[in-house]
Structure 1
Amino acid sequence: MASTLRRGGATVLGLDLGGDPQGDVAACDLRDARQLAAVTHSHELAAIVHCGAVSGPALHRDDPGHVARTNIESTVNLLELAVARGVPRFVFASSAAVYGRTPEEVAVDEERPLHPTSVYAATKVAGEALVEAFSRQYGLSGVSLRIAAVYGPGRRTPCVIRDMILAGKAERPVTLPHGRDQRYHYIHVEDVAEAVVAAVRVGSIRKPAYTIAADRGVTMGELAELVRTIIPGPSVVVGAADDPLSDPQGAYDLDAAAADLGWRARIALPEGIRSYAAALLQET
């Protein structure tokens, strides 16, 4: 994301718990408002992109308080910083998990009521509400992006696409216990970065939130067959049980992001898997 912004001429200051001086990433705990102010005080801020969070329902499931405190406190601190510094645009990385379970036969658009089924998803609903409230109360130009499951180079958290690619390379069979007929929504990391850039640069925000995904979705059974056509290897066996970490959902209606942000995903799933496989195989 930072590299995409830089290619467009922006100067980017990254913040992360660990920091990385070579990558222009400063060490900062977003839950610490004083540290956040100190790290950013000498920088002119044209926009804030908030991606810092416990990033998925699989992480810290045994510690919901940590998930809630981390995700909500960081959002409040960054919103307060944006208001105090008069930042023109605030982009919040939300999640399509905010929709919860939806009927398979009904397209999901941004007007659908939100019914989170995990603490992680609930923190994203709270974050969206905070962004909208700060925007209305303080005149902040804020927007939330409801991002589907991200895959591609640089992902650190668990990724079933990565697991299947590496298993194919190692000639290992794969057994997945659930999701054979359940729809999943994926998006390549480069498309996410371009969606964020679009949200940063668009002149005005018409909706408080937009769904960011690649297409109408794919079942895990279909995904397994697709990966094996690209990375041949032993079969991937997918069970029919419901996935406890992913809500069954209908296809996403992606027209709002196209109309208002001028963004649509450009990397189809087969192309994205091929490029991801090439990057992973080069690393190993």
Structure 2
Amino acid sequence: MTILVTGSAGFIGNHVALRLLQAGHQVVGVDCHTPYYDVRLKAARTERLLAFPRFREERIDLADAEETARVFEVYRPRRVVHLAAQAGVRYSLENPRAYVDSNLMGTFTVLEGCRSVGVEHLVFASTSSVYGANREQPFSEHHAADHPLTFYAATKRANEMMAHSYAHMFKLPSTALRFFTVYGPWGRPDMALFLFTEAILKGEPIKVFNHGDMVRDFTYIDDIVEGIVRVLDTPPLPVPSLEGIPDPATSPVAPFRVYNIGNSRPVTLLRYIDLVEEALGMTARKTMLPMQIGDVPGTWADVSDLSNDTGYQPSTPVEEGVRRFVAWYRAFYKK
């Protein structure tokens, strides 16, 4: 079938598009190669997809409603995986407008495109950051997520509510996936693993926030892709509410669902750094710093719903995942 993947030059989107192409689907990749980080990495990711004759690239900005509508009308995809977004928690402090254009307007044009051609399932990226001030762990989709701590998280929570409204009004089956700290080969240069590896190889100190007293549910990219593909084949249905109180993870009136997608095995930040040092065979110089604005001390995904509904089982230990990233980094950058 024809599947549209937004953010196809991005980290997760590129891996998803590649997996779908390998499975025999026709993939339409939408990405505008924004210069938020090195566009040469985005170009190299895209080259992996262009090797497949079933891949079509549309280099457009999703905030352009006319161009987005044209892409939907020309290709008429049956399913959509919407992963394009302005990423980065801290960048939202510097340039919040970028999140309005990409995350809010971009998601609106995708929803309109899905509505116009009758897409049978929209799967889109949310984030663990929506849990914000929630301190009850592991984080569950059945918990409220109404106190985001950054504008980035607020736009992602807004995406969930926008999608729910379209699922209700236009019967567009929609599934939100709350990603938990995705890492692996071809990752983003602004992510911790990339920054740590780059700095250690250069002999520069790494920044360790909250003095290392942090825990993250690091999730390897292959496990994330497996979860996305499984969800794509499982469109949601409305779920009746008990005693008239809607469950935050489902909807009593719309084909809508929210899932956590993580590893569900939290790792301390200092252990993560140890693994990078082991993979490189080098010791990091650490600069201990206080907690950053908008950050949280820990994340931990409850993935029981995703496992029960789709058979999702993350299988990559963080030790193996870090080794694979370091091997890719050294090969790609010839270091």
The amino acid that maps onto 1:106 is Q
Map of 1:197 onto structure 2: 229
Deviates more, 1:124-133 or 1:179-188: 179-188
What percentage of residue pairs aligned between the two structures are identical?
25
Deviation at 1:157, TM superposition (A): 4.0
SS at match of 2:286: strand
- Tell me the number of residue pairs that the alignment of Structure 1 and Structure 2 aligns: 283
Deviation at 1:246, TM superposition (A): 2.4
TM-score, length-scaled by structure 1: 0.91
Between the aligned partners of 1:69 and 1:164, the Cα distance in structure 2 is 30
| Cα RMSD, aligned residues only | 2.2
- Where does structure 1 lack aligned partners over 5 or more consecutive residues? none
Deviates more, 1:219-228 or 1:136-145: 219-228
Between the aligned partners of 2:134 and 2:286, the Cα distance in structure 1 is 26
1:133-181 Cα offsets, whole Å, 9 max, x none, are 1112211110000001221222234021122223444454434243511
Map of 1:110 onto structure 2: 141
Deviation at 1:25, TM superposition (A): 2.0
Q: Does residue 82 of the first structure (1) align with residue 97 of the second (2)?
A: no
Is contact 1:108-1:250 (8 Å) kept?
yes
- Where does structure 2 lack aligned partners over 5 or more consecutive residues? 1-15, 34-42, 51-55, 240-249, 251-256
Q: Does residue 278 of the first structure (1) align with residue 310 of the second (2)?
A: no
Between the aligned partners of 1:27 and 1:34, the Cα distance in structure 2 is 14
Is contact 1:173-1:234 (8 Å) kept?
no
Between the aligned partners of 1:135 and 1:189, the Cα distance in structure 2 is 28
Relative contact order, higher structure (CA 8 A, sep 6+): 1
Map of 1:223 onto structure 2: 272
1:21-51 Cα offsets, whole Å, 9 max, x none, are 8733211111111111223322131111111
Between the aligned partners of 1:166 and 1:63, the Cα distance in structure 2 is 25
Q: Does residue 96 of the first structure (1) align with residue 128 of the second (2)?
A: yes
User: In structure 2, do the counterparts of structure 1 residues 190 and 238 end up closer, same or farther at CA, with 3 Å as the change threshold?
Assistant: farther
Between the aligned partners of 1:250 and 1:227, the Cα distance in structure 2 is 20
User: In structure 2, do the counterparts of structure 1 residues 6 and 106 end up closer, same or farther at CA, with 3 Å as the change threshold?
Assistant: same
SS at match of 1:214: coil
SS at match of 1:102: coil
The amino acid that maps onto 1:65 is R
TM-score, length-scaled by structure 2: 0.78
Map of 1:34 onto structure 2: 66
Between the aligned partners of 1:203 and 1:128, the Cα distance in structure 2 is 16
Between the aligned partners of 1:253 and 1:236, the Cα distance in structure 2 is 34
